[in-house]
Structures are given as structure tokens and as C-alpha cells.
């Protein structure tokens, strides 16, 4: 699903009006019908609706919603904020339509007016600004938004299109905006909804279709995209009936140190469940029995050092060629000087894309010139702190995304920035967001599972970008299935491993299941 900027949303609006037999007022009506239906299904009897309207088309939506709710028999009042007398044409038309239906349905709010008294079961609808928001809220507008926010613990606040004050595709971190419980937005996600800094302002986001022209949506390139089931199914390749373990690649996983061998176990198990053909796990001596018992399907190579691996570069021939389709390095590895030196030698020898995570990222961050040695098209999987250590601090989430895209482009890498909506950037500068996953996955070992999954998928022959997008989705879906079976609180990284199979099943769909019983 593409993520359009505010300017592109306006273009989509104009394109639709030009190419379909629909006027802008009719499009507004469609948007208002969708919002009204959503409100009605959710709140029905006993509630009254209080709709705060601006002077533009977002306010026009609010006025139309008020009219439609009243037609359905609900108590609904529009509060028209008098900060300007420059109303948009469709806003005026909806003022007139509501006024002709019921003169008392519109109350104007002037600077200095008392904030309206609200009954017990009131729903507050914020239709002050949407995608036209262009500058900080000041004076009367700021006061009104502050008054709305002060009521957020007593009443439900529903924002139309965007919480007023929030910019669709720039940071609003330090600016005032409505803090909504729900945001009803039209047709497409906005970048703002995917930013951690906006989590307490958008509440739950609901995307409502309003019939924007499909041609504009399919033909317009965007910088950002939210992965969806259609994209995942287009990436996923079912296994071939005439294949063998060599078909699905051999991964060398370099992970674990004394006290952190669990990281190696989780990565190894995830890599195996992700479908790799062969897996060799490289651990310090202390890890030998652990790996052989916890991951019997994997082979094990052992470092001479009992506690931390320091010679793993020797597992790869001096010219880098050899049996490993890909290498994953980092989970629980440790960052001692000897380990860092071995990592440098490995980077000098092995020139195919690697998956680099955790302590391997910390080694890169401590010795930044090593970044120049990372094989092109490698997959880096930092969390925000690791990202900051590698590529520097960012003033806000939008700046961090720009840094992410720039680093991926300049260094020809695939970088996966972990978060609620994990962001994946590649050398072409495009950014994909992943929507699967839940807060239960914020737990130790979750990242190790992701590393294993990514390596396992990459080794099977997926292109790096596809491996990243599919791997992030699979990891999140396994976490969602695991949490559904128990709870987010109880979810462990090992549960994510156990649910990789079910997650694949969901992606493949039953139609593609290769099993003779399907014809019985
Ligand atoms: N996307 C669609 O296809 C549809 C969208 N709809 C709704 O329309 C709004 C966008 O409406 P628009 O009129 O473009 O913008 P707003 O209502 O958000 O804002 C109106 C004007 O307010 C001015 N502005 C901006 N920021 C401030 C501020 N801080 N203080 C005061 N005034 C401000 C600005 O005008 P300027 O010329 O002064 O810059 C805005 O233009 C969209 O969000 C949907 O809700 C349709 O109803 C359906 C189709
Ligand atoms: K709004």
C-alpha cells in the first residue's frame, strides 16, 4: 500500500474529480458517509456527537458528518471555529446544507467564548484541520486544541483524516496537535501514522475508502510504502517439488558467547524454520553441546577460544569463495578486540551479502571505517539506538527515516530499522514499512529470531529487498500468532520460532499447499 504525501493526496483528489463523474462536494459527501457509518457502528445509542470544525475542507467533512448523524436521529452539533472568514467553497456548501436542515445545529465559537459544556456520553470529533495544515496552531486555535486534549481522559476524541495540528509527512514532534483516540483517515496511510513520535496523538488509525481514482493510486510513484498481503504474496515463492537441500542455500551463523549462547540458539532455530537448506553455527567452545542439543538439524563449528569466537574468519576460505550462500553475524557475539579483528578479516574475505546484527553492528559503530568493508547489498538490522550509534542522532522520526534512506543509498546496503512499523530501506532509496508484529515482541531474543529468519530466507535465493520485506513480515506474523495463542506479555522469542511455520502457512494460503491429500 503506497503512502502518499499531503500534496499527492490533493493531486489524487483533483485527478479523481477530473476523470470520474464526481464533484469535490460529492467526494466530501462520500468521506462524510464513511465517517458517519464508522461512528454509528461504534457508538450507536445514548451518545451525542460534538464536531469541532475548521474553515477548510476538513471542517467541511465535519459539517457533513453532523448533518448525516442528525439525519440518522443522533444528537449532533457542529462548533464552527471563527478564526477566519475565509471558508472553502465546499465548507460553505455544507454550512448551508446543515443550516437548511436545522438552524440550531451550528454553533459558532469565537475567541474568548466559553468552551461548550458537554453531556456525559459525548463523542468529540476533531474536524479542524486535515491535510491542509501548513503551520503551527496559534492563539484561539491552540487554546481550542488544548481544551480538547484536556478532556481526553473523560471523552473519546475522533479525528477526521489527521489529528488537527499534525502534518501528514513532516515531524510535528514539538508542535501542538489534537491527541485522538481514533483517527479516521481517507483511502491511504499517511507517513505521520507510522512514526513512533505520533503514537499518543493518532490513537488507533482506521483507513476508510472514499473512491479516489485507482489509476492515480497505481501509477504514482511514492517514496514510502506499507507492506501488505498482496506485496507479501507476490514475493513469496513456494518450494519446488523437485528440489534438495542444496537448492535452499547454506548459512554460516556466527553467534553466541559465554552467557549469551541463547542468542545463537534462537537465531539457529529461526534460520532452520525459515527454510534454509543447510545451517552451520559457529560458536565458542562453550557452545558446542548447547547448539548440538538445541538445534540438532544444524552443524556446528567450534572456535578454539572457550568463551568468545575470535577465529571465525578462518571458516571462510581466503578468497571468500566456498560453500556458504550467506553469513549471518552478531547475535550474542560479544565485542572484544579479538572478535572485532576477526570480523574485520571476515569482511575482507567474504564479499557476498551478509546479515549483520547486534554485536556485529556495535563493532561497526565503534570502528566506523569497517562500514566501508561491508559487502554491498548486505542486510543490517539495527534498533533505533544501534542506528544512532552507526549513523548519528536525529532530531525527530522523519529525519531518522531520511538518514536511513540516505545511508542505504550511499552505502548500497539494505537497512532494517526496528520498531512498531519496522522501516526497510535499500540502495534505491525507497522505504518499506512492516505492519505485522505487536508489543509482546519487545522482549529479549526477538531480534535474534529476526536475524535467523533473514539469513534463512536470503540463502534460499530471495533478492535482498524481498528477503527483508518478507522476513520482517514473517517475524511479525509469527509474533502475532504466538501472542494470539497466549498473550503479548507471555510471548517469548522461542514462541516466535514455533510460529514461523504457521505464519508461512498463512502467507502461502491453502490454495498453494503442495500435498497429495488435497486431491483426495
Ligand atoms: N483527500 C481527499 O481526497 C479528500 C479530502 N477531504 C478533506 O479535505 C481535507 C483537506 O482540506 P483543505 O481545505 O485542503 O485543508 P484543511 O481543511 O486541512 O485546512 C484548511 C486551510 O487552513 C489553513 N491553515 C493551515 N494551517 C493553519 C493554521 N495552523 N492556522 C490557521 N489556518 C491554517 C490553510 O490555508 P492557508 O491558505 O492559510 O495555508 C488550509 O488550506 C482533508 O484532510 C480531508 O479531511 C474531502 O472532504 C474529501 C476528499
Ligand atoms: K482533523
User: Whose atoms come closest to the Cα of 132: which ligand?
Assistant: 1
Ligand 1 centroid to Cα of residue 503, in Å, is 41
User: Which CATH superfamily is 229-238+246-509 part of?
Assistant: Ribokinase (3.40.1190.20)
Ligand 2 centroid to Cα of residue 130, in Å, is 5
The DSSP-derived string for 254-292 is E---TT-HHHHHHHHHHHHHHT-SEEEEEE-GGGHHHHH
SS3 243: coil
Mutation test residue for ligand 1: of 5, 16, 57, the one with most atoms within 8 Å of CB = 57
| Ordered alpha helix ranges (H), 188-277 | 199-202, 214-219, 229-235, 261-274
C-alpha cell at 69: 448523524
Cβ contact 357:381 at 8 Å: yes
Ligand 2 centroid to Cα of residue 163, in Å, is 5
Task: Give this complex's ipTM.
Answer: 0.98
Q: Show pLDDT as tens, one digit a residue, over the chain (520 residues).
A: 999 999 999 999 999 999 999 999 999 999 999 999 999 999 978 899 999 999 999 999 999 999 999 999 999 999 999 999 999 999 999 999 999 988 889 999 999 999 999 999 999 999 999 999 999 999 999 999 999 999 999 999 999 999 999 999 999 999 999 999 999 999 999 999 999 999 999 999 999 999 999 999 999 999 999 999 999 999 999 988 888 878 899 999 999 999 999 999 999 999 999 999 999 999 999 999 999 999 999 999 999 999 999 999 999 987 766 789 999 999 999 999 999 999 999 999 998 999 999 999 999 999 999 999 999 999 999 999 999 999 999 999 999 999 999 999 999 999 999 999 999 999 999 999 999 999 999 999 999 999 999 999 999 999 999 999 999 999 999 999 999 999 999 999 999 999 999 999 999 885 454 555 555 6
Ligand 1, atom nearest to 135 Cα? 29
Going by C-alpha positions, the residue among 426, 431, 435 that lies closest to residue 474 is 435
Ligand 1 centroid to Cα of residue 51, in Å, is 16
Pocket of ligand 1 (CB under 6 A): 9, 13, 27-28, 31, 54, 56-61, 88, 129-137, 141, 160-161, 186, 210, 212
d(CA 382, CA 199): 21
Overall pTM surpassing 0.90 (yes/no): yes
Going by C-alpha positions, the residue among 121, 101, 102 that lies closest to residue 44 is 121
The DSSP-derived string for 503-517 is HHHHHH-GGG---GG
CATH fold for the domain made of 2-222:
Rossmann fold (3.40.50)
d(CA 3, CA 225): 5
Domain coordinates of the chain in residue numbers? Answer: 2-222, 229-238+246-509
Going by C-alpha positions, the residue among 380, 386, 403, 376 that lies closest to residue 468 is 380
Ligand 1, atom nearest to 30 Cα? 48
User: Whose atoms come closest to the Cα of 201: which ligand?
Assistant: 2
d(CA 272, CA 435): 24
C-alpha cell at 520: 483426495
Positions at the binding site: 57-61, 126, 130-136, 161, 164, 263, 332, 383, 418-422, 447-448
Ligand 1, atom nearest to 9 Cα? 1
Ligand 2 centroid to Cα of residue 60, in Å, is 11
The residue whose CA has the least distance to atom 40 of ligand 1 is: 132
Mutation test residue for ligand 1: of 58, 162, 189, the one with most atoms within 8 Å of CB = 58
Residues written for the chain:
520
C-alpha cell at 93: 456548501
Ligand 1 centroid to Cα of residue 4, in Å, is 16
Q: Using one digit for the tens of pLDDT, what is the confidence trace for 180-207?
A: 999 999 999 999 999 999 999 999 999 9
Going by C-alpha positions, the residue among 381, 396, 373, 368 that lies closest to residue 475 is 381
The residue whose CA has the least distance to atom 34 of ligand 1 is: 132
d(CA 456, CA 275): 6
Positions at the binding site for (6S)-NADPHX: 57-61, 130-136, 161, 263, 332, 383, 448
Mutation test residue for ligand 1: of 56, 59, 144, 166, the one with most atoms within 8 Å of CB = 56
Ligand 1 centroid to Cα of residue 136, in Å, is 13
Positions at the binding site for AMP: 418-422, 447
Amino acid at each position: 500500500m503506497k503512502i502518499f504525501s499531503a500534496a499527492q493526496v490533493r493531486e489524487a483528489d483533483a485527478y479523481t474529480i477530473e476523470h470520474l463523474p464526481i464533484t469535490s462536494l460529492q467526494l466530501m459527501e462520500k468521506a462524510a458517509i464513511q465517517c458517519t457509518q464508522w461512528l454509528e457502528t461504534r457508538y450507536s445509542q445514548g451518545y451525542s456527537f460534538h464536531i469541532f470544525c475548521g474553515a477548510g475542507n476538513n471542517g467541511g467533512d465535519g459539517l457533513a458528518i453532523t448533518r448525516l448523524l442528525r439525519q440518522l436521529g443522533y444528537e449532533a452539533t457542529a462548533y464552527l471555529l471563527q478564526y477566519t472568514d475565509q471558508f472553502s467553497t465546499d465548507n460553505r456548501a455544507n454550512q448551508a446544507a446543515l443550516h437548511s436542515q436545522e438552524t440550531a445545529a451550528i454553533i459558532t465559537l469565537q475567541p474568548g467564548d466559553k468552551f461548550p459544556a458537554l453531556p456525559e456520553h459525548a463523542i468529540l470529533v476533531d474536524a479542524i484541520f486535515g491535510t491542509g495544515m501548513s503551520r503551527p496552531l496559534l492563539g484561539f486555535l491552540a487554546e481550542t486544541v488544548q481544551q480538547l486534549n484536556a478532556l481526553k481522559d473523560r471523552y473519546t476524541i475522533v479525528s477526521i483524516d489527521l489529528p488537527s495540528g499534525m502534518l501528514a509527512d513532516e515531524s510535528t514532534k514539538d508542535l501542538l496537535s489534537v491527541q485522538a483516540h481514533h483517527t479516521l483517515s481517507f483511502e491511504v496511510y499517511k507517513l505521520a501514522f507510522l512514526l513512533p513520535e505520533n503514537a499518543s496523538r493518532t490513537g488507533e488509525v482506521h483507513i476508510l475508502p472514499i473512491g479516489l481514482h485507482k489509476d492515480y493510486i497505481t501509477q504514482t510513484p511514492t517514496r514510502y510504502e506499507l507492506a501488505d498481503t498482496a506485496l507479501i504474496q507476490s514475493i513469496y515463492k513456494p518450494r519446488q517439488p523437485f528440489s534438495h537441500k542444496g537448492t535452499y542455500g547454506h548459512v554460516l551463523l556466527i553467534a553466541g558467547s559465554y552467557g549469551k549462547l541463547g542468542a545463537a540458539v534462537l537465531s539457529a532455530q529461526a534460520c532452520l524454520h525459515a527454510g534454509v537448506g543447510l545451517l552451520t553455527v559457529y560458536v565458542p567452545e562453550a557452545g558446542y553441546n548447547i547448539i548440538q542439543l538445541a538445534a540438532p538439524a544444524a552443524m556446528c563449528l567450534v572456535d578454539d577460544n572457550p568463551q568468545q569466537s575470535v577465529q571465525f574468519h578462518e571458516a571462510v576460505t581466503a578468497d571468500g569463495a566456498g560453500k556458504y550462500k550467506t553469513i549471518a553475524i552478531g547475535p550474542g557475539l560479544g565485542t572484544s578486540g579479538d572478535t572485532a579483528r576477526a570480523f574485520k578479516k571476515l569482511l575482507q574475505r567474504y564479499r557476498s551479502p551478509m546479515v549483520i546484527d547486534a554485536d556485529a553492528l556495535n563493532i561497526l559503530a565503534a570502528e566506523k571505517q569497517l562500514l566501508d568493508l561491508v559487502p554491498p547489498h548486505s542486510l543490517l538490522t539495527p534498533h533505533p539506538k544501534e542506528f544512532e550509534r552507526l549513523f548519528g542522532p536525529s532530531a525527530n522520526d522523519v529525519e531518522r527515516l531520511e538518514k536511513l534512506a540516505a545511508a542505504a543509498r550511499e552505502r548500497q546496503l539494505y537497512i532494517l530499522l526496528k520498531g512498531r512499523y519496522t522501516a526497510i530501506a535499500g540502495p534505491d532509496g525507497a522505504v518499506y514499512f512492516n505492519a505485522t508484529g505487536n508489543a509482546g515482541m519487545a522482549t529479549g531474543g526477538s531480534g535474534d529470531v529476526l536475524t535467523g529468519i533473514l539469513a534463512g530466507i536470503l540463502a534460499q535465493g530471495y533478492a535482498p529487498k524481498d528477503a527483508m520485506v518478507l522476513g520482517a513480515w514473517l517475524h511479525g506474523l509469527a509474533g502475532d500468532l504466538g501472542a494470539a495463542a497466549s498473550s503479548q506479555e507471555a510471548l517469548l522469542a522461542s514462541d516466535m520460532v514455533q510460529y514461523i511455520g504457521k505464519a508461512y502457512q498463512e502467507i502461502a494460503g491453502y490454495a498453494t499447499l503442495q500435498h497429495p491429500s488435497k486431491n483426495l
